[in-house]
Amino acid sequence: MTNFIHRQNDARSCGATTVTTSNTVRINGRFISVEGDTNTHGGGALRATQTAGKVRVGGKSVIILNDPASPDSLCPPLGGAHCSPKASSASPNVRAGGG
């Protein structure tokens, strides 16, 4: 299963970590990541998949493990995972979306 909730400082596939905009709900002591959250490389706005329109915090869909993201600021010139820095780590025990 890949529907574990992504949080503040969880990893991205490019080596960056997530910067959250939500500051009201925590999972395992970290703020929940929501749609549009960027990463520490700049840019890389996350897009919700399974939780879109279903599970929200502050009116925005919650991000889960492997949700995709827009390119971050290192896509050009470095390319690779910076061009699609998906959520690559998450809560070990809290899920959303598909169960």
Contact (Cβ atoms closer than 8 angstroms) between residue 84 and residue 71: yes
| Cα angle for residues 96, 46, 74 (degrees, 5° grid) | 145
User: Cα(98)–Cα(58) distance, rounded to whole angstroms?
Assistant: 20
Does residue 21 sit in helix, strand or coil?
coil
Residue 99 has pLDDT above 80, yes or no: no
What pLDDT does 1 receive?
A: 55
Q: Tell me the C-alpha to C-alpha distance, in Å, between residue 89 and each of 17, 42, 53, 68.
A: 9, 18, 22, 12
Q: What's the confidence (pLDDT) of residue 86?
A: 96
- Return the CATH number of the domain spanning residue range 1-90: 2.60.200.60
Report pTM.
0.93
User: Where do the structural domains in the chain lie, given as residue ranges?
Assistant: 1-90
Residues in the chain: 99
* Predicted confidence (pLDDT) per residue in 6-63, tens digit: 999 999 999 999 999 999 999 999 999 999 999 999 999 999 999 998 999 999 999 9
